[in-house]
């Protein structure tokens, strides 16, 4: 549709172009502190339809609405002034947290897929705030990747998936958080985490005393529809081993190299130390480092014939969030191939 997608650093000119495109119901990719979003005017059915088409996203998976920090969200959702949600919003937003409220149905109905709720996110990064403030409209934005592919953390990743399909990518460099926001349902008695992320249950408990994980409380149906789909799949072959199967991983690496194929290890620091001078993509040592590096390294790993990896040490709540994405990239890929 578009001959070539523009990739522009954030300047007054590129923001003006972004605003015009959004108002014309076109799509603009923009950086946040988690991953890049594929932005669309949340009140436009036409723009929302484009998002689902361009991504190849299942039509029953609702979108998050992004607003700037001074936007009055009570225009869009029911906010209980005295409830726990207010305290959570005060403590963690702007930030990598998406809150699911009861909707006032002021946005395009296809965006919320018939749900009575609406997910709102106030991102923290300077670039996201600049874009949202300049546009000054609620912006629906899923991660800016083709459905099921790895989420993008650089403008280049977005370009690889959407060159020719969208008119503009705002380039704000690499996203530092690295995994998508925590999705938190605040419509019930206690807050419930529907998607794990950088804000953990422990952090929320410290502010309001309680917080549950949906996996523990909801068994019948996935409350966050997106969680039932496979995600983050690299476009190359992958192999996942237990942490005590180093020899097996090394044997596969050597076998592939013997056949003239290029293999690469994607591992944390503890395992990297055991792999000698072989090709390694370093996830890092802490939960923060691994969250920040995971998608970037999955994209890097796709340049090889095979990514070889080992299960992660689940020694913190944040590592559970990282592992949520890691396991989708590797367990599913393993089953498929």
Cβ-count burial 48-60 (b if 16+ within 10 Å, e if not)? bbbbbebbebeee
Partner whose binding site includes residue 117, from ligand TXA, Mg ion, none (CB under 5 to 8 Å by kind): ligand TXA
Q: How far is the CB of 145 from Mg ion (least distance, A)?
A: 6
Contact between 58 and ligand TXA (CB under 6 A)?
A: no
Among 292, 300, 298, smallest CA distance to 322 is for 292
Residue 67 and residue 187: Cα distance in Å, rounded?
19
Q: One symbol per residue from 207 to 246: x for binding ligand TXA (CB under 6 A), - otherwise; what is it?
A: ----------------xxxxx-------------------
Least distance in angstroms from the C-beta of 39 to ligand TXA: 8
- 94 lies in the site for ligand TXA, by CB under 6 A: no
Measure the CA–CA gap between 94 and 123, rounded to whole angstroms. 5
Which is nearer to Mg ion, 98 or 143 (by Cβ)? 143
65 vs 43: CA distance, rounded Å: 10
| Footprint (CB under 6 A) of ligand TXA, residues 238-297 | none
Shortest Å distance, C-beta 209 to ligand TXA: 23
- CB nearer Mg ion, residue 61 or residue 133: 61
- Exposed e or buried b for every residue in 317-327, given b needs 16+ CB within 10 A? ebbbbbbbbbe
Torsion of CA 312, 316, 318, 324, to 10 degrees: 40
Residue ranges in 14-33 that form contacts with ligand TXA under rule CB under 6 A? 32
DSSP 2: -
169/186 Cα distance (integer angstroms) = 32
Residue 38 vs 319, nearer CB to ligand TXA: 38
CB of 246 to ligand TXA, least distance (A): 34
Q: Which residue from 103, 143, 154, 181 is in contact with Mg ion, where contact means CB under 5 A?
A: 143
Torsion, Cα 142 148 326 96, to 10 degrees, reads 0
Residues lying near ligand TXA in the complex (CB under 6 A): 32, 34-35, 37, 61-64, 98, 100, 112, 115, 117-119, 121, 123, 141-143, 180-181, 183, 194-195, 223-227
């Amino acid at each position: 549709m578009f001959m070539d997608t523009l990739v522009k650093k954030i300047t007054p000119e590129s923001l003006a172009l972004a605003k015009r495109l959004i108002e014309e119901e076109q799509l603009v990719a923009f950086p946040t502190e988690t991953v890049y979003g594929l932005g669309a005017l949340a009140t436009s059915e036409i723009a929302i339809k484009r998002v689902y088409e361009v991504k190849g996203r299942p039509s029953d998976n609702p979108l998050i609405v992004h607003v700037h920090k001074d936007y009055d969200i009570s225009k869009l959702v029911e906010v209980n002034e005295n409830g726990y949600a207010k305290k959570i919003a005060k403590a963690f937003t702007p930030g990598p947290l998406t809150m699911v409220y009861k909707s006032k149905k002021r946005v395009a109905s296809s965006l919320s897929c018939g749900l009575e709720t609406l997910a709102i996110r106030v991102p923290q990064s300077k670039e996201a705030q600049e874009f949202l403030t300049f546009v000054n409209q609620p912006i629906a934005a899923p991660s800016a990747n083709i459905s099921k592919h790895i989420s993008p953390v650089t403008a280049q990743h977005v370009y690889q998936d959407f060159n020719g399909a969208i008119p503009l990518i705002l380039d704000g460099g690499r996203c530092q958080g690295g995994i998508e926001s925590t999705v938190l349902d605040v419509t019930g008695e206690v807050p419930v985490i529907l998607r794990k992320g950088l804000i953990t249950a422990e952090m929320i408990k410290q502010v309001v005393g309680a917080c549950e994980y949906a996996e523990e409380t909801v068994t019948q149906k996935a409350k966050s529809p997106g969680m039932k789909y496979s995600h983050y799949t690299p476009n190359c072959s992958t192999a996942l081993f237990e942490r005590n199967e180093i020899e097996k991983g090394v044997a596969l690496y050597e076998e592939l190299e013997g056949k003239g194929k290029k293999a690469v290890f994607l591992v944390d620091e503890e395992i990297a130390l055991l792999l000698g001078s072989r090709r390694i993509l370093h996830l890092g040592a802490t939960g923060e480092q691994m969250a920040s590096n995971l998608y970037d390294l999955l994209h890097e790993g796709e340049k090889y014939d095979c990514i070889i990896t080992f299960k992660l040490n689940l020694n913190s709540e944040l590592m559970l969030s990282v592992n949520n994405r890691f396991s989708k990239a590797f367990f599913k890929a393993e089953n498929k191939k």
